[in-house]
Amino acid sequence: MTVLSNDALEKRLISYRHYFHEHPELADHEFNTTKTISKILTDWGITILPTRLATGVFAEIGNSTGPTVALRADIDALPIQEKSGVAFSSKIDGIMHACGHDTHIASLLGAAYLLKQHEPALKGRVKLIFQLSEEDKEGALQVINDGQIDGVDAILGFHNTPNHGVDQIGIRAGITNGAIDKFKVTLQGVGTHASTPDKGQDTIVALGAEINALQSIASRNLDAFQAGVLSITHVSAGNTWNILPDTAFFEGTVRTASKQMRKLIKARFFDVVNYTAKAHQVTANIDWYDGDPSVNNDAKLAAIVRDESSKFATVYEQEQRLGSDDFACYQEKIPGVYANIGNGEKISAHNPYFKADDAMIKVGMTYFERNAIRILDELQQ
C-alpha cells in the first residue's frame, strides 16, 4: 500500500466523494457503490468479509483476539432531481445524494485507510459497515439479520447536519432522534348520488372529522414536556363532482421521543380513528407500521466519544430531534453512539438544493478513526 500524506489522502477522499455524488443509487440498488467501495478497500489491503446481501460492504481491520468496535456509514441516495448546482452534481436522472451519505462513505473510507496503517497497534478489531438502504428497505435490519453485528461490542455512526460548521460535533447521551411509525387508513362507507346523501354513508365528511380528531392527540394527550408529532400527509377520496365515494383514504406518520409516548399515541390513534368512524357510520381499516425505534446513545460510550472528539473538534450538546435513522436498530442490540457533524451549509437534507462542504470529510474520518482506537482501549480495560 502506498503511503499517502494527510493532504493527499484528503484530496483522494474528496475525489471519491464527488464520484459517489455523481453516481448515486437508491436503497437496495447500491451495486456500483458497493463495487467501488470494495475495490478501494481491497487496493488498500483491507479484508472484505462475506455477506449474503447483494449490496453493502463489510470489512475488518485489526486482530480478532480483542474487542470489536463497528463503524457504520450509510451509502444510499434518494429519488430527487438534483438542483444544487455543484460542479459534481448527480449524473443520474432523478436520483441524488440529498442526505449527504456520499460524505459518510468518504469519511469511513478515510478512517479505514488510517486504521489500516496502524493496524499492528490496534487493541482489537475494527469492523467497517458500509450499510445499504438507510432511506428505505430497512438496511440496518438486513445487516443485523446477515449476522454482521454478531460479536461486535460497540458501534459508532454519524450524520452530517446543516447549520453547524464542519468543526462542530453534536453528541447527546440517551435519546437523540425520534422513533418513526407509519399509518394508512381506509374508510369504508356506502357511495351514493351527491343529491341524496341520506341514501349512503359519506366517507368524505368522516375523513374530515378524522383529520380534526387526530390532531387532538398531540395537543391533548401528550405530556407537554415530551416531544411527539402526528402528521397526516396524504388524503384521497372521490373522483368527480356528483358522486359521494364509498371509500376515503389517508396516511401519515408519527414521530416520538420516548417509548411511553410512542405506545400512548398508537393506542389513542386506534381509538380515535375507530370511534370517529363509528360516529359517522363508516368503518375504518387501519394499517399500522412500526418503524425504527429511537436513536438512543449509550451514556458511558457517549462520554468517551465526547471526550475524545473534543480533542479535534468543538463538541456541543446535541438537541433532540424527531427525524429518524435506522442506526437505532443496532442500538437495540449493542451499545452505540450516533453523533451529528456540521456540514457547513444551511439547507436541510432531502432537498434538491442540499449541499455539504467537502471539508467535513476530514472531521468525519477523524471522528471514526480516533474514537475507534479510544473505544478499543477502553474496552480492553
Positions at the binding site: 99, 101, 135, 159, 350
Nearer to Zn ion, 37 or 282 (CB): 37
Which residues partner with 254 through β-bridges?
A: 181, 230
By rule CB under 5 A, what string of x and - marks binding of each residue 50-89 to Zn ion? ----------------------------------------
Report the residue number whose CB is nearest to Zn ion.
99
Please work out, in degrees rounded to the nearest 5, the angle formed at the alpha carbon of residue 180 by the alpha carbons of 174 and 183. 155
- Is 111 in contact with 61 (CB distance < 8 Å)? no
Binding-site residues from annotation for Mn(2+)? 99, 101, 135, 159, 350
Q: How far is the CB of 379 from Zn ion (least distance, A)?
A: 28
By beta-carbon proximity to Zn ion, the closer residue of 165 and 323 is 323
**99 or 143, CB closer to Zn ion?**
99
Which CB atom, from 99 or from 375, has the smaller least distance to Zn ion?
Answer: 99
**Least distance in Å: CB of 195 to Zn ion?**
48
For residues 99 and 187, which CB has a smaller minimum distance to Zn ion in the complex? 99
Within 13 Å and on the Cβ side, how many CA atoms surround 224?
1
The string over 216-253, giving b where at least 16 C-beta atoms fall within 10 Å of a residue's C-beta and e elsewhere, is: ebbeebbeeeebbebebeebebbeeeeebbbbbbbbbb
Strand ranges for the chain from DSSP E: 47-48, 57-62, 68-74, 125-131, 154-161, 168-171, 174-177, 179-188, 192-193, 228-237, 243-244, 247-256, 283-290, 295-297, 314-317, 336-342
> Exposed, middle or buried: residue 184 (CB in 10 Å: 0-12, 13-18, 19+)?
middle
Contacts 24+ apart (CB under 8 A), 367-370: 367/107, 367/156, 367/158, 367/169, 367/309, 367/313, 367/339, 367/341, 368/71, 368/107, 368/108, 368/110, 368/111, 368/156, 368/158, 369/110, 369/111, 369/114, 369/115, 370/308, 370/309, 370/311, 370/312
CB-nearer residue toward Zn ion: 63 or 163: 163
For Zn ion, what does the binding mask look like between residues 179 and 198, x meaning CB under 5 A?
Answer: --------------------
Taking the complex as a whole, the smallest distance from the CB of residue 104 to Zn ion amounts, in Å, to 8
Instruction: Give least dist CB 210 to Zn ion, A.
Output: 29
Task: Provide, rounded to whole angstroms, the least separation between the CB of residue 328 and Zn ion.
Answer: 13
What is the total count of residues that contact Zn ion (CB under 5 A)?
A: 1
Task: Please say which residue, 180 or 207, places its beta carbon nearer to Zn ion.
Answer: 180
Per-residue contact string for residues 89-108; x = within reach of Zn ion by CB under 5 A: ----------x---------
Please answer whether residues 293 and 179 qualify as being in contact, where contact means their C-beta atoms are separated by less than 8 angstroms.
yes
At closest approach, how far in Å is the CB of 101 from Zn ion? Answer: 6
**Angle, to 10 degrees, between the axis of helix 6-22 and the axis of helix 101-117?**
150
Torsion sign across C-alpha atoms 257, 258, 261, 263: positive
**Using rule CB under 5 A, residue 282 touches Zn ion:** no
SS3 letters for 125-140?
EEEEEEECCCCCCCHH
Of 75 and 301, which has the nearer Cβ to Zn ion? 75
Q: How far is the CB of 62 from Zn ion (least distance, A)?
A: 27
The backbone torsions φ and ψ at residue 236, rounded to the nearest 5 degrees and listed phi first, read: -155, 140
Minimum distance from CB of 13 to Zn ion (Å)? Answer: 19
Minimum distance from residue 179 beta carbon to Zn ion (Å):
16
Residue closer to Zn ion by CB (options 26, 48) is: 26
The residues binding Zn ion (CB under 5 A) are: 99
